[in-house]
Structure 1
Amino acid sequence: MLGKQRCSYILIYIVLFINSAFLYAQDLPNKNEVNIPSSTETEAEENTETKQDTTTVNLQPTITERLEIVNDTVKNDSIQKKPEFLTGVVDYYGEDYIFMDQENQKVYMYNQAYIVYEDMRIDAGLIVLDYNTNEVFAKGIDSAGTYTQRPVFVQAQNRVEPDSMKFNTKTEKAIVYNSRTEQNGFNVLAQVTKKENDSVVYLKNVRFTTSTNLDDPEYYFYTRKAKFVPKKKIVTGLTNMYIADVPTPLGLPFAYFPLTEDRAAGFIIPSIGDNNNRGFFFQNGGYYFPISDYVDLAVLGDYYTNGSFGLRGEVAYALRYKYRGNLNIRYESLIDSERGFPDFSQSSVYNIRWNHSQDAKANPSSRFSASVNLGSSRYFRQSINQTNNGSGLVNTLSSSVSYAKTFEGEPQVNVAIAATHTQNTNTQEINMSLPNINASVSRIFPFAPKTGTKKGILQNINFQYDVTAENRFQTTDSLFFKPEMFETAQLGARHSIPVSTNFKLLKYLSTSLTTNLQETWVGQTTNQTFDADANDGDGAVVTDTIRGFDRYFTYNFSTSLGTTFYGTFNFGEDVKFQKLRHVVRPSVSYNINPAFDHYYEELQIPTADPDVAAEVVQFSRFENTLYGAPGAVYSSNIGMSLSNTFEAKVREKDTTATEPKKIVLLNNLNFSTAYNLAGDSLPWSPLRFTGNIPVVDKLDVNFTGSLDPYALDNNNNKIDKFNINNGGSLFRLTNGNVSLNYSFSSRDFETDNPDTTNRLNDETFANGGRPDDLFGTGDDVGDTSFREGQDNGNNLNKEWYNYDIPWDFRLAYTITYNNTRRQNEISSQSLMFSSNVELAPRWQVGISSGYDFTNKGVTLTQLRFQRDLESWTMSFNWTPIGALNTAWYFFIGIKSSVLSDIKYDKRREPDRNL
């Protein structure tokens, strides 16, 4: 942003300013000389060479002033003494020699010379102090056509590297030749820098660049004249952009930069282009407001000549050790075609995204967090400024804003207040809870001993208390936050008191007993009556809503019994497969759910035929309430489950290893079913199974399925008869799913270079998409994989071909089988993959694609090309196949954030009408 970067221009010129205090100078005495010499001694010591040593002295008046003081016999001289040139301690050094020319009043320091005074330091090949002209001169050494030991001037945090420099201590004027300086990644090269006084500095033939190759920058901005007023402003003349030393038409007749040490407000330059449906446009232009040190605001907008427009507000805030977050509000008014045409349409979409996180150490007993993503269901598919493929495929938006407070003590109390939201972008249905209150009291052991461990049934008895209260809205996009939405609000609360205990039975069996007491409160109920006059006299059941408090009470009981078996098989230490271990965890549970049929009523619906008895319908007044009606059917279930894990120990390939390697062959192969003791038919539940097979490192095959023991009749309806007794197998596979995800890269083969890359696409993930690039990557303006601070290819010894080619690969496969009614079909099957390869040190290509075997078509496909142009970056993303039709995006711009507004981007938006 232009406003954000103006502060960088301040420091560019400040480092060129030479403080006048540094440049007062005089003759320097020998290291061990402390007495004032006589004139004879002074003449004898002329043209002598001092020892090669570092000298630090407290300088007295000049030689001439010393002689006058010695020979003057008048003690009370009426002539006022001249002020001292330097009043502090000076540290100076010359590697080859320090030569004091007393006749010409000059001091020469040669080779690796430096002089330090207060907070300033000059290093150079040659430094000359001239008392006659009150000047200090510094330059490098020209040896065999090579210019080395250029002067380096450092003051505080500022650093300047010119070819040579001269400063007058009397007039306080300075001139610097071919200076070089760097501030925040911005390099400035000025041919001549002239300091007139403390408030004005003139520069001539100045080049600005972010390239690190200062001898031959691939681009720079060139201005002939510039005026710098410290802490106030910078004014330049005609400024042109040069690429490879070739001038371009890009430039300004003049430029004015106000100087400030803080962040400055400023305009954000928009992108310009045209759209086939909406005409000429300006995108992502606006203004930046640095509200305070903790908050900033950017207001951006888009405008199309057909009348479409978009507005966005982006707020970022942070307080160290407290919290941080950002808020994005986006609104777009969309117009298709032109007014008066039959295909003219006008609509609007919006999106609100807010993320807030609190530092865990800010307040351990309370925490506030927010993750909001709500808006129009069509936003990510119809936005005129959206180039993120992954966001366009998001089917669900969700939000949560919560505050949690913990009250320490015995027992501990936890309270949380939240507002939640879920939204289906396909059906446009919205479920919102505003507010949602949860409170809980930690477990209480009333019979536990004061000291020691708890043993037995009685001592392990515990209970706790939980309450959940909710005000829920069910609505759609069109009614969101309209009066009709609040009319459908459902208010309720549920209190729960679970009481449980656990103990060991027969030493090896873990046993638990649990009962749960629930009290449910609702703010409204329903009543059903039969209206004979409704439906044009045919009669109909009418449901009336009854406002007011009502409640119902339920309870249940459960117990479980489980243990663990270990089976080990040894095959010997001389074979590769040495040991096999089978871990079995069987468990049995029993659940009782009473029938709460006293909360139900019967409604008689008469028929048109008087000889036919009226139809009796059972209903509960708690139907269609927040938590639904209590169960009316008594159930008594026995549940059974079996968990299996197979592990092995194999001999290591490394012969120096002393222990075999442990591997998992089959992880969590689980079987579960249930038997309803109170059921009059079909008492057995389907046998469900899940499992995980680790194939290789980072590749696991997950599977799940369901086996039904009952047969089907000729109409494919389940009957109370086992399938094996109906001429079939023991079980019918009714459904199943197999999925695998595999991700690996070239770094997996580098033992000394672990994979520390993070390829999460923040924009896609924040919008509810996948945290990988299987659906492509987002194309935010100026966002590239080549960032500042990385190796940008300026190493001249770098090879053009990258023999060590970095790459990564991701694979996801899923297949779903359905056979509940003998359809015997693959309901879904797809394969998705993505890969990125760095073909050369500055070239990177990538692809994301897949194939839908069920619909026999290629899924969303994206091709990516990125080129590192040293100080610039270029990228091209092309989506030739996708659910939102084809699109492409091209970007080229400067990588440095200082000049992030200097860019060119062009895109082809998907055709929303297809």
Structure 2
Amino acid sequence: MSQIFTKILLIGLRTKLFHIVLLAIFLTNGNTAVFSQDLKQKDSIKLNKSSLPLPENTLNITTKNDSVKEETTTKKDTVVKKKGALEGIVKRKAKDYERVDQRTKQMTLYNEAELYYTDIQLKSGIIVVDYDNNEVYAGRIKDSLGNYTQSPIFTQGSNVIEPDSIRFNFKTKKALVWNSRTKQGDLNIKSEISKRENDSVYFLKNARITTSKNIEDPEYYFLVSKVKFVPNKKVVVGGTNLVIQDVPTPLFLPFAYFPMTDESTSGFIMPTPGQSNQQGYFLQNGGYYFALSDYYDLAILGDYYTNGSYGLRFESSYAKRYKFNGRMNFRFEHNIQGEKGFPDYARSKQYNIQWSHSQDAKASANSRFSASVNLGSSQYFRQSVNVANIGSSLNNNLSSSVSYSHTFQTVPQVNFSLAATHNQNTNTELINMTLPTLQASVDRIFPFAPKDGVKKGFFKNINFQYNLRGENRITTADSLFFKPQMFRDAKSGFQHSIPLSTNFKVFKYFSVSTSANYNEVWTFNTIDKYYSAAQNKIITEDVKGFDAFRTYNFAANIGTTIYGTFNFGEDKKIQAIRHVMRPGISYNYTPAFDQYYDTYAIDATGNNMDNFTRFESGLFGTPGNDYASSVGLSLSNTFEAKVRDKDSKKDEPKKVMLLNNLNLATSYNLAADSLALAPLRISGGTQLFKQKMNVNFATTLDPYAIDNSGKRIETFNIDNGGSLFRMTSANMTINYSFSSNDLAKDNKETTTQTESQTALNGGRNDDLFGTGADLSDSRQSLFNKKDKEGEDSNDEWYNTKLPWDLRLAYSVTYNNTNRQSEISNNSLMASGNIELAPRWKVGFSSGYDFKQRGVTFTQFRFERDLESWRMSFNWVPYGPNAYWGFFIGISSSVLSDIKWEKRQIPDRVFR
């Protein structure tokens, strides 16, 4: 009986065929060899008879009709099986159809074809897999109008390539890409032909490299004949030509290197050349950037001038998420003016240290550390040749604070803080520092309060607390800063205070509060005064050693609130006016502590004596030598109106504030033998024009007359032939800020004010005194505007609407303390910006001093946003801070060295 042989045939299944082919095409990481898989239950196998012999030792089958014992033997495979290459689920879809052609050995996905495998995504109009030639093709398709649509988009991880078509050989793992488009950081790259060598290396031909967002029609690009591209690492190019608006420029580079990484990288910072009238030619802001870690960095910048002047700057930023962030700047300049041997020769050394540190609220619930440091030479911002910032140079004060605070969650709660402070007057060059300041306090304790916590009445509201303050204060000059003499003049002391207070109501509507305060001061620095006959003058000696004094005082006040409404009718424009008054009467008592006072002779006779206390010039004041008992009167008022709102759909009136506050205050000294009535102080403020205009005013009215020498006398002014009060001083300030958005019906607040470098230097945060020019990075905008990405892009010219903003600040001061009746200050400041056309901005800052009859500091700003480029011109036409600077360059930090900058810095006078 002849043997029966069978042939096992595998029918081509779309699902399994696609998986096998896709494996070799899109596995860019790992092994790309193809291995068989176990068939699932749903797969079918068809058996057919055949005369073809089976390979030996594969499968033997014997029938029972041959009376031969059935046996099936299978030899073990000696070849080690390799691990399957599929590492994830493969997904695919197409809108129109998926087709497999067995004759051409091709699979086609048509219209909105998509493939997904691990981190690989391929989207295209058509995807064709040629598994006979080990190739895959993806390209565009035509729409009903004959236009090509659905360009391929190949994504692997964070790398995205958008070509017109792509051809890939999964056996050699190489690919050819036509008109590929990819983005690496800020760089957009489009190449005519791209060759994929392996997973990490690409070669490009006739490529365009640009930072423009419009990669199809960029306003500029670098045309490169050959490119080696390693994603997320580097771009190395050959001959490079800069093309602007499709016009080649003479700028040509034989080669270029662009580091591409998501992390910060170290590198050189190119300096800016220029010329100064006093220092000669210079190179400014050149140096090196150190990317030390993901949490902090360091930039070292330097300046050099041909006359020998130089400057150094160290800038560092640091941050840790949910913990803290901050930055530090150290600047030093050694400036030389003139030539040795000439009268105008001068040398100047200036420095400035800035440190800001803030702690995240989530970092710690009970402790906090913060720092805001701005110290250095008093004349730094006025004499620095690398700072053009009038707002900082006009500032007369530099201040710093570094503090640590901790709260102990005890009962009662205890608060503790340790701080170091610094205050510096840049005009007098006097510095006051506390190194350190210690403060501790115990939370309020209510000894008579019930356990249920309800406190009503005089006794239940009695409370007290304990406060401790210790200081080590240093007063020195700028020239002695951090020198030994600075620490020898330090003064130390402690202040203990225990305030005791309570509050209650009387007659239902009157609130009464009383307080008594005990104060004890410990000091380690006292003085002694005596007359020296040998020197014929009064000698004041410092005495070292522990000493203390104790004082106390008492205060009480009573107040209430009175409401009044004047109705005019609902048919009126102003329906009602509401007036709120808060009158108050206070009493203060302080005894005389003359036990802490001594006498000394003021001349050689010894008959003329004067009093002094050894605690003079103490850290926490001196004990009073005069008995004080005074009554104070105060009245605060607010006025608001209810106005019919024509824009309201519900016919509801709106509230308009007429006067935010109108305050009157005076006092009467019961212990004084003359001039007991204090001047009447009136102050107020309001906001007008939808709270765009702030108006504040104040005046002082004196009821007493003055004699011919200007001294107050015990005669009322009305009895001396004058009015009831004599106005001794008055001042008013008006600030008005508005823009074109305020005139629109549906205007919305879109601008946010951020702290500028001028404000960090101690100046104003607005641009009334001009906008500071950061000479180390001119890519930053001169205008305080939103980020360009948040603005609406409009390339068309404006017809009638021009975006603009304007700020006005008016200040006037009147002085009549000695019948001079003069305006001591009267000035108007203005600043504004206008967008003449899309991406064309013009701004100014100026003012007029009516007292001096002259124009104040003036600055003009011009800026052109060239999309990927930025052009600006900053001009101060006259004055000691005359300056101009022109800049044009690429905005992106990747190509920040491609720029042209020219400026004329102000001529400084060094001393």
**Same fold (TM > 0.5):** yes
Deviation at 1:240, TM superposition (A): 2.5
Is 1:790 matched up with 2:783? no
* Corresponding residue of 1:445: 446
Which of 626, 633, 643 is the matching residue for 1:633?
626
Deviation at 1:437, TM superposition (A): 0.8
Is 1:831 matched up with 2:828? yes
CA distance, structure 2, for counterparts of residue 156 and residue 422 of structure 1:
53
Does structure 2 retain, via aligned residues, the 8 Å contact 1:578–1:650?
yes
Identify which range, 846-855 or 596-605, moves more after superposition. 596-605
Write the letter of the residue equivalent to 1:111.
N
Query: Residues 804, 79 of structure 1: CA spacing in aligned structure 2 closer, same or farther, 3 A cutoff?
Result: farther
CA distance, structure 2, for counterparts of residue 289 and residue 400 of structure 1:
28
* Corresponding residue of 2:840: 843
Deviation at 1:769, TM superposition (A): 1.0
Which of 641, 659, 662 is the matching residue for 2:655?
662
Deviation at 1:123, TM superposition (A): 2.5
Determine helix, strand or coil for the equivalent of 2:386. Answer: coil
CA distance, structure 2, for counterparts of residue 326 and residue 510 of structure 1:
49
Deviation at 1:226, TM superposition (A): 2.5
How many residues end up aligned between the 2 structures? 860
Determine helix, strand or coil for the equivalent of 1:342. Answer: coil
* Corresponding residue of 1:151: 152
Write the letter of the residue equivalent to 1:106.
Q
Does structure 1 retain, via aligned residues, the 8 Å contact 2:472–2:490?
yes
CA distance, structure 1, for counterparts of residue 311 and residue 186 of structure 2:
33
CA distance, structure 2, for counterparts of residue 260 and residue 651 of structure 1:
61
* Paired residues for 1:649-798 under 5 Å: 649-654=642-647, 656-698=649-691, 699-750=693-744, 752=746, 754-760=748-754, 762-780=756-774, 781=777, 782-784=779-781, 790=789, 798=795
Deviation at 1:500, TM superposition (A): 1.5
CA distance, structure 1, for counterparts of residue 284 and residue 259 of structure 2:
26
Which of 898, 901, 911 is the matching residue for 2:907?
911
Which of 28, 39, 64 is the matching residue for 1:19?
28
Deviation at 1:667, TM superposition (A): 3.0
CA distance, structure 2, for counterparts of residue 657 and residue 79 of structure 1:
90
Write the letter of the residue equivalent to 2:120.
M
**Deviations along 1:350-382, whole A, 9 cap, x unmatched?**
000000101112112111110000001111111
* Corresponding residue of 2:529: 528
CA distance, structure 1, for counterparts of residue 686 and residue 294 of structure 2:
53
Identity of matched residues, %: 55
* Corresponding residue of 2:314: 313
* Corresponding residue of 2:599: 602
Deviation at 1:173, TM superposition (A): 2.2
CA distance, structure 1, for counterparts of residue 216 and residue 883 of structure 2:
41
Write the letter of the residue equivalent to 1:524.
N
Determine helix, strand or coil for the equivalent of 2:297. Answer: strand
CA distance, structure 2, for counterparts of residue 248 and residue 32 of structure 1:
68
Does structure 2 retain, via aligned residues, the 8 Å contact 1:93–1:109?
yes
Does structure 1 retain, via aligned residues, the 8 Å contact 2:159–2:231?
no
Determine helix, strand or coil for the equivalent of 2:275. Answer: strand
Query: Residues 900, 502 of structure 1: CA spacing in aligned structure 2 closer, same or farther, 3 A cutoff?
Result: same
* Paired residues for 1:543-558 under 5 Å: 543-558=540-555
CA distance, structure 2, for counterparts of residue 766 and residue 868 of structure 1:
27
CA distance, structure 2, for counterparts of residue 451 and residue 793 of structure 1:
59
Write the letter of the residue equivalent to 1:154.
T
Does structure 1 retain, via aligned residues, the 8 Å contact 2:184–2:232?
no
Query: Residues 819, 194 of structure 1: CA spacing in aligned structure 2 closer, same or farther, 3 A cutoff?
Result: same
Is 1:75 matched up with 2:58? yes
Which of 515, 535, 540 is the matching residue for 2:537?
540
Does structure 1 retain, via aligned residues, the 8 Å contact 2:643–2:655?
yes
CA distance, structure 1, for counterparts of residue 135 and residue 748 of structure 2:
57
Identify which range, 141-150 or 171-180, moves more after superposition. 141-150
Does structure 1 retain, via aligned residues, the 8 Å contact 2:287–2:301?
yes
CA distance, structure 1, for counterparts of residue 297 and residue 105 of structure 2:
58
Determine helix, strand or coil for the equivalent of 1:633. Answer: coil
CA distance, structure 2, for counterparts of residue 443 and residue 743 of structure 1:
44
Is 1:131 matched up with 2:126? no
Determine helix, strand or coil for the equivalent of 1:443. Answer: strand
Query: Residues 203, 659 of structure 1: CA spacing in aligned structure 2 closer, same or farther, 3 A cutoff?
Result: closer
* Corresponding residue of 1:291: 292
Does structure 1 retain, via aligned residues, the 8 Å contact 2:26–2:120?
no
* Corresponding residue of 1:417: 418
Identify which range, 729-738 or 830-839, moves more after superposition. 830-839
Does structure 1 retain, via aligned residues, the 8 Å contact 2:273–2:283?
yes
Query: Residues 160, 218 of structure 1: CA spacing in aligned structure 2 closer, same or farther, 3 A cutoff?
Result: same
Query: Residues 149, 559 of structure 1: CA spacing in aligned structure 2 closer, same or farther, 3 A cutoff?
Result: closer
* Corresponding residue of 2:557: 560
Deviation at 1:853, TM superposition (A): 1.0
The runs of 5 or more residues in structure 2 that have no matched partner are 1-24, 60-74
* Corresponding residue of 1:899: 895
Write the letter of the residue equivalent to 1:293.
D
CA distance, structure 2, for counterparts of residue 813 and residue 303 of structure 1:
42
Deviation at 1:788, TM superposition (A): 6.8
Deviation at 1:509, TM superposition (A): 2.0
**Deviations along 1:2-56, whole A, 9 cap, x unmatched?**
xxxxxxxxxxxxxx998277998999xxx9994467999xxxxxxxxxxxxxxxx
**Deviations along 1:87-124, whole A, 9 cap, x unmatched?**
57654445444444433333344333344444323223
**TM-score, normalising length from structure 1?**
0.88
CA distance, structure 2, for counterparts of residue 466 and residue 353 of structure 1:
32
* Corresponding residue of 2:12: none
CA distance, structure 2, for counterparts of residue 506 and residue 618 of structure 1:
48
CA distance, structure 1, for counterparts of residue 115 and residue 35 of structure 2:
13
Is 1:471 matched up with 2:472? yes
The runs of 5 or more residues in structure 1 that have no matched partner are 1-15, 41-66
Does structure 1 retain, via aligned residues, the 8 Å contact 2:664–2:681?
yes
Does structure 2 retain, via aligned residues, the 8 Å contact 1:890–1:905?
yes
* Corresponding residue of 1:221: 222
Does structure 1 retain, via aligned residues, the 8 Å contact 2:35–2:84?
yes
**TM-score, normalising length from structure 2?**
0.88
Determine helix, strand or coil for the equivalent of 2:534. Answer: coil
CA distance, structure 1, for counterparts of residue 894 and residue 410 of structure 2:
54
Determine helix, strand or coil for the equivalent of 1:734. Answer: strand
Which of 882, 888, 893 is the matching residue for 2:884?
888
Identify which range, 869-878 or 74-83, moves more after superposition. 74-83
**Deviations along 1:266-303, whole A, 9 cap, x unmatched?**
11122122222112211111111122221111111111
CA distance, structure 1, for counterparts of residue 472 and residue 872 of structure 2:
48
* Corresponding residue of 1:401: 402
Query: Residues 477, 606 of structure 1: CA spacing in aligned structure 2 closer, same or farther, 3 A cutoff?
Result: closer
Deviation at 1:576, TM superposition (A): 2.6
Does structure 2 retain, via aligned residues, the 8 Å contact 1:834–1:848?
yes
Does structure 1 retain, via aligned residues, the 8 Å contact 2:323–2:360?
yes
**Deviations along 1:826-872, whole A, 9 cap, x unmatched?**
01111111111112121111111111111111111111111111111
Deviation at 1:200, TM superposition (A): 4.6
